[in-house]
């Protein structure tokens, strides 16, 4: 039997998984020394062209250094391995860190968070997507679940075999919309899983005669498709620290300060977490996405939602208690999404009086109580301007990474500027 080929993968600023392949026989040498890469790849937009203004041109060389712990196997069945995929860091030619690598950005954020707060983060990404090629069916229905057979069962087996630990697979509200969740883990594993999951879903859909799209919208007035990022905090002993039954929303002081950091920098954060030309058409009031910059109990319009817990079957609420960030979608790079959330939350925890604890809106809060909460940016351009103005968020990034990111996002905006809403949405949907 031939040794399966390998693919060493990274995820770029447009959330696209790219990399290089090698024969399976070279596995050992690839693990030791990686594969060649170039900085200019970071400047490629979602639509395939290098953005004017990227910090990287025709010179420079990097390595894609694979992380053996991330290896997954894409197969057509139990006995037919097609490809072994490993997630990589982009490094200097000698294997040392490259300051503009998105995965390195998250690793550093994780390390800094632990050093400055004494806490560890547990996280997971909750993905929605549309599966085209199925009959129309009712939202959340058994019929839709059955119509997705064999794709659904095959997806659960595939994710399980790849070590991605699927948790829930369900029909969602939008037309032909589904959701897949995976078990919480450490932040780097959570983001690596998000990078791989999207590719596995798309590939399996193609092999089953379907088309999976993670785009934020499929039509101007349609149901949005997002990514919800769930975060909890534990101490060095693994004990949860977010729940305090005596405080508003049962959110502890450290949880409140973590939230304050995200709310304080929310406008700039969305430039990283919802970064397509159509993302902000979804992020509006009354769309069950993120209607404003506020923290609330069990409210699906809040930017930060305090999630419910259950005591059924003797479950421990403190181990379920988590915060859900709702202004993200799958056009974003998962490493950067989680990295900026950790940086913002850390700023709130260590920032003292500069980050006052936010109000916690109760579940019963209605339009009258929420009428004065700040709104998210109306467009990606507005979010990019907010990013440029937020010196704290800018300081988290190497200047070349920041400049290239701004160039890529503005190049994507220019690419679809002459299109109407429907055509702009289709252009993004065709990519994601």
What mean pLDDT comes out for the span 137-166? 95
Q: What is the mean pLDDT of residues 237-265?
A: 97
Model pLDDT, residue 311: 84
pLDDT digits (tens, 9 = 90+) for 384-406: 999 999 999 999 999 999 999 99
Preceding peptide of 273 cis, ω within 30°: no
Q: Is 425 helix (H, G, I), strand (E, B) or coil?
A: helix
Tens-place pLDDT, residues 166-200:
999 999 999 999 999 999 999 999 999 999 999 99
- CATH of residue 66: 3.10.20.70
Residue 52, burial from CB neighbour count under 10 angstroms (0-12, 13-18, 19+) = exposed
The band of 80, judged by pLDDT with boundaries at 50, 70 and 90, is low
| 415 three-state secondary structure | helix
- Position 79 scores a pLDDT of 55
For residue 76, pLDDT over 90 is answered with no
Contact, 303 vs 285, CB < 8 A?
no
Distances (CA, A) of 4 to 47, 80, 305: 30, 9, 44
211 is in which domain, residue-wise? 106-391+406-431
Total domains in the chain come to 2
Quick one: pLDDT at residue 145? 96
Q: What is the pTM of this model?
A: 0.96
Q: In the beta sheet, which residues pair with residue 196?
A: none
Residue 366's pLDDT band, with cuts at 50, 70 and 90, is confident
Whether residue 340 has pLDDT greater than 60: yes
| DSSP-assigned beta bridge partners for residue 26 | none
Residues 251, 141 share a domain: yes
**Token pair of 296 as six digits:** 């609330």
Last residue of a domain, one of 64, 98, 132: 98
Q: Which of 71, 98, 125 is the last residue of a domain?
A: 98
Name residue, tokens 């905090």: 233
Is 60 exceeded by the pLDDT of residue 86?
yes
CA distance 414 to 432: 18
**E-only strand ranges, 288-353:** 292-297, 302-306, 323-328
d(CA 328, CA 333): 10
Query: What average pLDDT does this structure show over 128-144?
Result: 95
Evaluate if residue 422 carries a pLDDT over 70. Answer: yes
Residues 114 and 79 in one domain: no
Full DSSP string of 329-345? -TTS-HHHHHHHHHHHH
Regarding whether 128 and 56 lie in a shared domain, the answer is no
SS3 298: coil
Q: What is the mean pLDDT of residues 348-375?
A: 92
Query: In whole angstroms, what separates CA 220 from the centre of its chain?
Result: 23
Same domain, 53 and 128: no
Query: What is the reported pLDDT for 78?
Result: 55
Q: Answer positive or negative: Cα dihedral of 177, 418, 276, 206.
A: positive
Decide which of 78, 98, 118 is a domain's last residue. 98
> Are 187 and 123 spatial neighbours (Cβ–Cβ below 8 Å)?
yes
* DSSP E strand boundaries for 133-226: 166-171, 177-182, 211-213
Q: What percent of the chain has pLDDT above 70? A: 98
165: CATH:
3.30.590.10
Question: What secondary structure does DSSP assign to 250-276, as a single string?
Answer: GB-HHHHHHHHHHHHTHHHHHHHHS-S
- Residue 291, pLDDT > 90, answer no
Query: Do 25 and 3 touch, CB atoms closer than 8 A?
Result: yes
Torsion of CA 353, 247, 260, 332, to 10 degrees: 160
Same-domain pairing of 179 and 155: yes
- 120-134, 308-322, 414-428 — which is least confidently predicted? 308-322
SS (H, E, C) 362-391: CCCCCHHHHCCCCCCCCCHHHHHHHHHHCH
User: What is the tens place of the pLDDT at every residue in 205-219?
Assistant: 999 999 999 999 999
Given pLDDT bands bounded at 50, 70 and 90, which one contains residue 312? confident
Q: Which tops the pLDDT comparison, 363 or 111? A: 111
* pLDDT beyond 70 at 1: no
Same domain, 303 and 216: yes
Same domain, residue pair 236 and 375: yes
């Amino acid at each position: 039997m031939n040794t399966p080929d390998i693919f060493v993968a990274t995820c770029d600023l447009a959330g696209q998984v790219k990399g290089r392949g090698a024969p399976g026989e070279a596995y050992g040498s690839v693990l030791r020394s990686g594969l060649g890469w170039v900085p200019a790849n970071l400047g490629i937009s979602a639509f395939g062209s290098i953005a004017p203004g990227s910090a990287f041109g025709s010179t420079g060389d990097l390595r894609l250094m694979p992380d053996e712990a991330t290896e997954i196997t894409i197969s057509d069945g139990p006995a037919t391995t097609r490809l072994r995929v490993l997630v990589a860091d982009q490094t200097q030619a000698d294997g040392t860190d490259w300051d503009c690598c998105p995965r390195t950005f998250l690793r550093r954020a994780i390390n800094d968070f632990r050093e400055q707060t004494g806490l560890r983060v547990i996280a997971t990404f909750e993905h929605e997507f549309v599966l085209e090629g199925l009959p129309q069916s009712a939202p959340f229905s058994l019929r839709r679940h059955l119509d997705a057979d064999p794709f659904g069962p095959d997806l659960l087996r595939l994710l399980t075999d790849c070590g991605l630990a699927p948790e829930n697979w369900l029909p969602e509200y939008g037309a032909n919309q589904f959701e897949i969740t995976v078990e919480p883990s450490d932040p780097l594993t959570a983001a690596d899983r998000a990078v791989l999951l999207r590719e596995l879903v798309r590939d399996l859909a193609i092999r089953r005669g379907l088309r999976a799209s993670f785009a934020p919208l499929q039509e101007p007035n349609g149901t949005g498709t997002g990514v919800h990022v769930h975060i909890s905090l534990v101490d060095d002993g693994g004990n949860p620290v977010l729940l305090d039954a005596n405080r508003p929303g049962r959110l502890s002081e450290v949880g409140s300060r973590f939230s304050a950091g995200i709310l304080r920098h929310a406008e700039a954060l969305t430039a990283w977490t919802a970064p397509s030309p159509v993302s902000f058409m979804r992020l509006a009031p009354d769309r069950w996405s993120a209607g404003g910059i506020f923290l609330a109990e069990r409210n699906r319009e809040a930017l930060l939602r305090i999630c419910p817990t259950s005591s059924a079957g003797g479950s421990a609420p403190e181990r379920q208690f988590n915060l859900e960030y709702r202004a993200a979608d799958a056009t974003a790079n998962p490493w950067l999404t989680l990295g900026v959330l950790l940086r913002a939350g850390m700023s709130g925890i260590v920032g003292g009086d500069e980050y006052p604890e936010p109000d916690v809106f109760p579940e019963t809060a209605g339009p009258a109580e929420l009428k004065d909460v700040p709104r998210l940016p109306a467009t990606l351009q507005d979010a990019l301007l907010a990013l440029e103005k937020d010196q704290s968020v800018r300081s988290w990034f190497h200047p070349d990474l920041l400049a290239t990111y701004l160039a890529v996002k503005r190049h994507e905006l220019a690419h679809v500027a002459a299109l109407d809403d429907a055509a702009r949405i289709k252009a993004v949907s065709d990519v994601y």
